Structure 1
Amino acid sequence: MLLAASTLAFPAVPANAAGDQGPDDEPVIVVTGTGLPDTPSTPAYDTQTLDRETLVSTASGRIEDALSAVGGFQQFRRSDSRSSNPSAQGVTLRALGGNASSRAQILLDGVPMADPFFGYIPFSAIVPERLGSARVTRGGGSGPFGSGALAGTIELSSADAGELGLFDGRALANHRGETEIGATLVPRLGAGYVAVSGRWDRGQGFFTTPAEQRVPATARAAYDAWSAQVRAVAPLAPDIELQARVLAYRDDRTLRFRGADTGMEGHDGSLRIVGRGRWQFDVVGYVQARNFTNTVISSTLFVPTLDQRNTPATGIGGKIELRPPTPGNHVLRLGLDYRRASGELYEEAISVVTGAVTQSRNAGGTTSDFGLFVENDVTLGNLVLTGGVRADRWDIRDGFYTARAPSGDVIAADRYPDRAGWDLSLRGGAVWQAGNDLQFRAAAYTGLRLPTLNELYRPFTVVRLTTRANASLRNERLEGYEAGLDWTVLPGVSLALTAFDNTVKNAVANVTIGPDLRQRRNIDAIRARGIEANAALSFGRFELAGSVGLTDAEARGSGVAAALDGRRPAQTPRWTAGATASWRPADGALVSLTMRHVGLQFEDDLESDRLPAVTTFDAFARVPIGGGLAVILRAENLADAAIVTRNQGGSIDLGTPRTVWAGLALRL
């Protein structure tokens, strides 16, 4: 009711800026659906922005595929959200990974998207067609983004009514008979609008198991996922707007064996009020209700061994940022944010002989973080200086682990001590505009990440390998610095280059402690040093854009983790690179070819199992045929390269083989 009333209270009047006077001296209302504008210091940190065209024109139609255009972007595994376990969908940048939790913060219109229990990103719920842009900031510490942004921040912004049009829909199928159907309807209501969208993806999937390792119980990676969203944007005053979102999704997958079914679901809601007047402000509040289920199948007898039947989790939080009026050469940011994550798992161990439940387990807890931050930019001619400080009050509490026999007798009843503390983070940087076409930048920063509930309390098994939880994990701390340049070499030719040195102390890693046995442990550090480069060329209707990341990352360990000292962190490539050549032969038409390369990785902390380097090629074509209708053609992994996504003692999983899509898109 509030949205409807505020929308209809202000007429839609074309204008150049909010607060201008329209006909009859009425204030002109411009609704953007975005947050506050960038500050002068934004270029001080290594950023790369992907536009809407880049996000919606991938061969797979997945947001994680679009983000992989950024050199240094890395998921824990090489498989996408159709054939991976959701709990492995962690995201990092700059080779600061090593386990499945996200060390990069992903925000959707200012709201963190990480799962409250696991820390994974629900990629299948984030539909590229709903987005207007994605800005990736590699490194940079926590700053005003909240704790958790050790490796960087990925800010996803929704498309506005102008970008979406009244209706935007598409329907595609591939040569295996799998389908992708999605649509968005955007009616304008006065000066505001409502975007109602849905997407449904389903298919039999492909065999992730190589042909020579298949058994009668081997199954395709079938998937069935839907995501529905309503987003409304309305003015509350000429320079204040309200943004509201409701998101619901579910994703079911089968992994490797029949009966190895995994599911995730979520119901998210958020409200955001943005003020762009003399006193600028951005207020966000959200609630997230998530769940995860998983059935583990024995890799030798091919019967269920574990039923992770329920993992309910709740995330609540918000942020208040204020930019008060300051002298012309200053931009001051004051704010606070809060996030609370609670959840627990319910699972049953199952006898492979009788099929009866042998043990019931329940574990969980709560973590929270309250942050205060201050940041100021000052512009001195061609030089911009920035500095900020952040204080986090964190706590880890209510941790428990209970195991019961089928009779109800207690086998284990552990209660873990509550912990709390303060941590201080700093960041600062400088940007010098050396000329119209060249700028230099440098930055240094520290940051914080709390261990997830999954790392603290949930053990898991993949094939024969068991990884134990660790309720005593300490917080991760980042220290880093970087320097780089942005250079427009010629009109239409640009280059960005960054050198960095980042160290995560107390890094959480899966440490081998016995045969087929690991435990999450804090190791001394993960240090990553490297170079990132972006380049773009644009000549008329032809464009070429590329990004590359070269990272020398090594783990530092002592004691039980001494064996991994000096080794590369698990799942961490030295090289990542991508390039896309695109041609627009006519208005609305697009043909593109994308190359991506991921270097050699190791499955484990001891570098015993290799994931070979792989280069893939994708293609995309959009051909308008009139009346807003267009033919869409897509091809994933054109050369049918073997993408090894898991290798545990020779037991291998593979990523997406050659896949060809065709369909229609309609925009009105």
Structure 2
Amino acid sequence: MTLMPRLAASSLAVMLAAPLAAQEADLPADAEEASPAEAIIVTGRGLEPALSTGIYATSILEREVIIASPSGRIEDVLRNVAGFQQFRRSDSRSSNPTAQGVTLRALGGNATSRALVLLDGVPIADPFFGHIPLSAIAPETLGMIRVTRGGGSGPFGAGALAGTIDMESAEPGQTAGFLGSAAINNRAETEASGVLTQRLGRGFAVASGRWDRGQGFFTTPADQRVPATARAAFNSWNAALRAVAPLNDEVEVQARVAAFRDDRTLRFAGADSFSNGEEASIRFVGRGALQFDALAYVQARDFGNVVISSTRFTPTLDQRRTPSTGIGGKFELRPPLLEGHDIRIGVDYRQADGELQEEALNAVTGAITERRRAGGATSNLGIFLEDDWQIGPLIINGGLRADRTSITDGFFTAVNAAGAPLRSLAAPDRSDWAVNWRTGALFYATRRLDLRAAAYTGLRLPTLNELYRPFAVFPVTTEANASLVNERLRGYEIGLDWQPVNALVFSVTAFDNKVKNAIANVTITPTLRRRANLPAIDARGIEASLGAKLGRVSIDGSLAWTDAEVAAPGTALDGNRPAQTPKFAGTLTLAWRPVDGWQLAGTLRHVAAQFEDDLETDILAPATTIDAFIAAPLWGKLSLVLRAENLTDEAIITRNQGGSIDLGVPRTVWAGVRYGF
């Protein structure tokens, strides 16, 4: 699995060497004095956002917010967005990596992402599990994050059931030549990162790396600990190399190679997991009269996990490996066909394949009792057409997308230690065409008031994990379901963006979304669940955000109130709130920059109660936390950075299964230094 990215990385290096060397060699001695009209501007970004971007509920996080997170983690940055939600409340240091699904608008979840997450245009969800490798995303390498809530039919539209989180790497002008940081917290855990940006002729290259390690905290409450209870230890690193160069005055090439490794321990000594990956991508962006965006990528991922008995505290399952591969690409064309129209035509493709390899163990002797293998492949081919039509103060958007989805080569086998068959499944291949659409309008009512309305549909394929991989979190076993069908969404929303004065911006959106065939973990018995398609999940709510800047003081807030329920007539689930779905979540950040170089910020965050399970028997209590961030200049570009998570030491319940509880991060204080900006 690791060979493909290595070959891709070598190819990318060869492809980039020529244009970069040519740019360096051809650069005249007085190039720095060339007039702006003659300069080729290389940004490293994709095409400019379409006119219709403002039609759909969108939040933008700028770099200064991204790199000022109290935890230093990307999920903490994203929690500032109304409606953002992880499957569980725990962060990427203290949860199983496969539970890192992200969604928007409280549509419910089962650890698989219902939001599409992109990095420089590349989908980054795990090909087998569908979770997001949060520890592989270094916030300090990003320049901007655009979060669009609600389904859509545009480029890479499949998978954007709840919305899209689009992350862009920082441009050279946004970073110093070198940005480095190091920090240690009150548990002696450490983190270190570095980003080196180098101009190469008219292009540039960025090398980055990060290493986080620590003993972790006890996720188990004191009154439930046993001698085998262990801290949530973590050790993770990631590294990436990105290069951008102009091919001519209108076309630039962008290439990236990256790798990561993440090791964690949860609850008991020996309950260790790992995830790792390598990836490579190449992208050509044309900004001339005929604009285009052509992208290709390859990913290789792996995951392993040891399950420990909660009664004997010995291994009962060794999920040795789950190798998977994702490949894909996109081509988008923006032809200047009609005056007043912004037309986008394109095609995209994604394929994922993987295989589970695990052994069940005797909790007393440690002998192998059963060997299991499971896996398959999924693919999605999408063809899309969109048009933004501007008529004076009115922008009208319409988009149509056709997707051919396929699920193939699905299997599950189990044999005993001697190799004799115990159970087997050969799932039939299946494929289907689905049509999705979106439409909306944006009206500039006044210079300071925008009104918008939209309707849309969406699509998500079940993951290989949902289809074929069973798993256990004591005392509950969850079975896979090879018969799962695609999730479909239909939604509507209206909203406004109001700027009564230059220093104040207010946005509010009311929405009504329905996910048909929603995949959930359905309770069969107190100790058994099975993945199944629910008839529907209905979610109606209001999202709001506020941004104000009064001199050197700024206020940013967001809230999401959602009334979500399962529609399953004739069952015990009908009318229940989806598992892991809070009714209310809000955040408020107050920041002060007394003088240049200084930054002080405090964040108040509240998440309402939510249910652990679909039958509403186990409750996760509401949680209110306060975080803080302080940066103070020491000398030149060197700054002191102090950060605090959960200052009040609130008990954040992240799991409650029949009274067996896990907790989130306790009070944590960091001290460190940062060089550059």
TM-score by structure 2 length?
Answer: 0.96
1:452-486 CA deviation, whole Å, 9 max, x = no partner? Answer: 00000000000110000000001000000100000
Alignment of 1:350 with 2:361, yes or no, is yes
Question: Counterpart of 1:17?
Answer: none
Which residue type is aligned with residue 637 of structure 2? G
- Output aligned runs, 1:476-491, within 5 Å: 476-491=487-502
Superposition deviation, residue 164 in structure 1 = 1.7
Q: Tell me the equivalent position of 1:98.
A: 109
Q: Tell me which of 459, 462, 480 is aligned to 1:451.
A: 462
Structure 1 unaligned blocks of 5 or more:
15-20
Equivalent position of 2:575 in the other structure? 566
- Relative distance call for 1:302 and 1:433 in structure 2 (3 A) is same
The alignment status of 1:212 with 2:230, answered yes or no, reads no
Which of 362, 371, 374 is residue 373 of structure 2 equivalent to? 362
Checking the alignment, whether the CA contact within 8 Å between 1:10 and 1:29 is kept in structure 2 is no
Q: Distance in 2 between matches of 1:204 and 1:290?
A: 25
**Which of 17, 20, 26 is the equivalent residue of 1:7?**
20
Q: Counterparts of 1:53-202 in structure 2 under 5 Å?
A: 53-202=64-213
The CA deviation at 1:300 is: 1.1
Q: CA deviation at 1:144?
A: 2.1
> 1:179–1:201: 8 Å Cα contact kept in structure 2?
yes
1:530 partnered with 2:541: yes
CA contact under 8 A between 1:12 and 1:191: conserved in structure 2?
no
Aligned to 2:9: none
The 2-side partners of 1:360 and 1:76 are apart by: 29
Residue 606 (structure 1) aligns with: 615
More moved, 524-533 vs 585-594: 585-594
- Matches of 1:8 and 1:146, distance apart in 2: 37
SS at match of 2:445: strand
* Conserved? CA contact 2:261–2:276, under 8 Å: yes
**Equivalent residues of 1:98, 1:570 under 8 A apart:** yes
Partner of 2:438: 427
* Residue equivalent to 2:605: 596
Inter-partner Cα distance in structure 1 for 2:526 and 2:200: 63
SS at match of 2:385: strand
> Cα offset for 1:143?
2.5
Q: What are the Cα deviations for residues 406-438 of structure 1, in whole angstroms up to 9, with x where unaligned?
A: 001111221010010100001000000001100
SS of equivalent to 1:143:
coil
TM-superposed CA distance for 1:596, in Å, is 0.9
SS in 2 for 1:586: coil
Give the SS at the match of 2:16: helix
One-letter amino acid of the counterpart of residue 31, structure 1: V
Aligned partner letter, 1:608: T
Match of 1:547 among 542, 549, 558: 558
TM-superposed CA distance for 1:567, in Å, is 0.4
CA shift, 1:657, in A, is: 0.2
User: 1:626–1:651: structure 2 CA closer, same or farther, 3 Å change rule?
Assistant: same
Deviation of 1:140 after TM superposition, in Å, equals: 3.1
Give 1:42's match in structure 2, choosing from 34, 53, 58: 53
**What is the one-letter code of the residue matched to 1:572?**
T
Is 1:280 matched up with 2:291?
yes
Deviation at 1:557, TM superposition (A): 1.6
Measured in 2, the distance between the counterparts of 1:446 and 1:421 equals: 17
Following superposition, the deviation at residue 491 of structure 1 comes to 1.8
- Verify the 8 A CA contact 1:45 1:140 in the aligned structure 2: no
**In structure 2, how many angstroms separate the alpha carbons of the residues matched to 1:413 and 1:645?**
35
User: What is the CA distance between 1:521 and its match in structure 2?
Assistant: 0.3
Shift in Å, 1:353: 1.8
Between the aligned partners of 1:214 and 1:81, the Cα distance in structure 2 is 22
CA distance in structure 1 between the partners assigned to 2:268 and 2:35 by the alignment: 69
Which letter does structure 2 place at the counterpart of 1:527?
Answer: D
Q: Distance in 2 between matches of 1:154 and 1:142?
A: 15
Separation in 1, partners of 2:368, 2:659: 30
Matched residue SS, 1:6: helix
- Which of 345, 349, 354 pairs up with 1:338? 349
Aligned to 1:403: 414
Aligned to 2:664, which of 655, 659, 664? 655
Instruction: Quote how far apart the aligned CAs of 1:263 are.
Output: 0.7
Match of 2:593 in 1: 584
* 2:637 maps to 1:628: yes
CA contact (8 A) 1:437 1:488 kept: yes
Tell me if structure 2 keeps the 8 A contact 1:523–1:558: no
SS for the counterpart of 1:58 is coil
Q: CA deviation at 1:11?
A: 6.3
Q: Shift in Å at residue 589 of structure 1?
A: 1.5
**Cα distance between partner residues in 2 of 1:427 and 1:636:** 40
- 8 Å Cα contact 1:48-1:135 kept in structure 2: yes
Asked if structure 2 preserves the Cα contact closer than 8 Å seen for 1:582 and 1:590, the reply is yes
Identity of aligned residues (%): 60
Q: Given that residues 155 and 330 in structure 2 are in contact (C-alpha distance below 8 angstroms), is that contact kept between their aligned partners in structure 1?
A: no
Question: How far apart in 1 are the matches of 2:133 and 2:26?
Answer: 38
Aligned equivalents of 2:618 and 2:625: distance in 1?
22
- What is the CA-CA distance between 1:558 and the residue it aligns to? 4.3
- Structure 1 residue 10 displacement after superposition: 3.5
Q: Any conservation in 2 of the 1:13–1:29 contact (CA below 8 Å)?
A: no
Cα 1:13/1:545, change in 2 over 3 Å: farther
- CA distance in structure 2 between the partners assigned to 1:470 and 1:573 by the alignment: 27
C-alpha distance in structure 1 between counterparts of 2:37 and 2:515, whole Å: 54
**What secondary structure does 1:420 align onto?**
strand
Query: What is the match of residue 18 of structure 1?
Result: none
The aligned residue for residue 8 of structure 2 is none
Residue identity in the other structure for 2:582: P
Per-residue CA deviations over 1:578-616 (Å, capped at 9, x if unaligned) read 111101111122100011111110000000000011110
How far, CA to CA, are the matches of 1:571 and 1:173 in structure 2?
32
Unaligned runs of 5+ in 2: 1-13
Residue 391 of structure 2 is aligned to residue 380 of structure 1: yes
How far 1:145 sits from its partner (Å)? 2.9
Residue 574 of structure 1, CA deviation: 0.3
Q: What is the TM-score normalised by the length of structure 1?
A: 0.97
Offset of residue 13 of structure 1: 12
Q: Distance in 2 between matches of 1:286 and 1:219?
A: 39
Structure 1 residues 263-293: Cα deviation after superposition (integer angstroms, max 9, x where no partner): 1000010001100000000011000000000
Compute the displacement of 1:26 (Å). Answer: 8.6
Q: Which amino acid aligns with 1:227?
A: N
**SS at 1:524 equivalent:** strand
How many positions carry a matched residue from both structures? Answer: 661
- Shift of the alpha carbon at 1:517? 0.2
1:142·1:148 contact (CA, 8 Å) conserved in 2?
no
Give the distance between the partners of 2:26 and 2:540, measured in 1 at CA.
Answer: 51
Please give the alpha-carbon distance, in whole angstroms, between the structure 2 residues aligned to 1:26 and 1:237. Answer: 15
Q: Do the aligned residues in 2 keep the contact of 1:618 with 1:638 (CA within 8 Å)?
A: yes
Q: How far apart in 1 are the matches of 2:176 and 2:202?
A: 15
Deviates more, 1:165-174 or 1:326-335: 326-335
Structure 1 residues 440 and 248, CA gap change in structure 2 (3 angstroms): same
Considering only aligned residues, what root-mean-square deviation do their CA atoms show, in Å?
A: 1.6
Name the amino acid aligned to 2:115.
A
Query: 2:483 corresponds to which letter in structure 1?
Result: S
Shift of 1:186: 1.0
For the 8 Å contact 1:13–1:22, the answer to whether it is kept is: no
Please give the per-residue CA displacement for 1:388-410, whole angstroms capped at 9, x wherever unaligned. Answer: 00000010000000101100111
Q: Distance in 1 between matches of 2:257 and 2:353?
A: 20
Cα drift, residue 22 of structure 1: 8.6
CA-to-aligned-CA distance 1:314-369 (integer Å, 9 cap, x gap): 00001000001133310000000000000010000001121101000000000000
- Partners of 1:265 and 1:134 lie apart in 2 by 24
CA apart distance, 1:245:
0.5
- How many Å apart are 1:141 and its aligned residue? 2.5
User: Per-residue CA shift, 1:496-526, capped at 9, x if unaligned?
Assistant: 0100000000000100011210000001000
Q: Distance in 2 between matches of 1:44 and 1:78?
A: 30
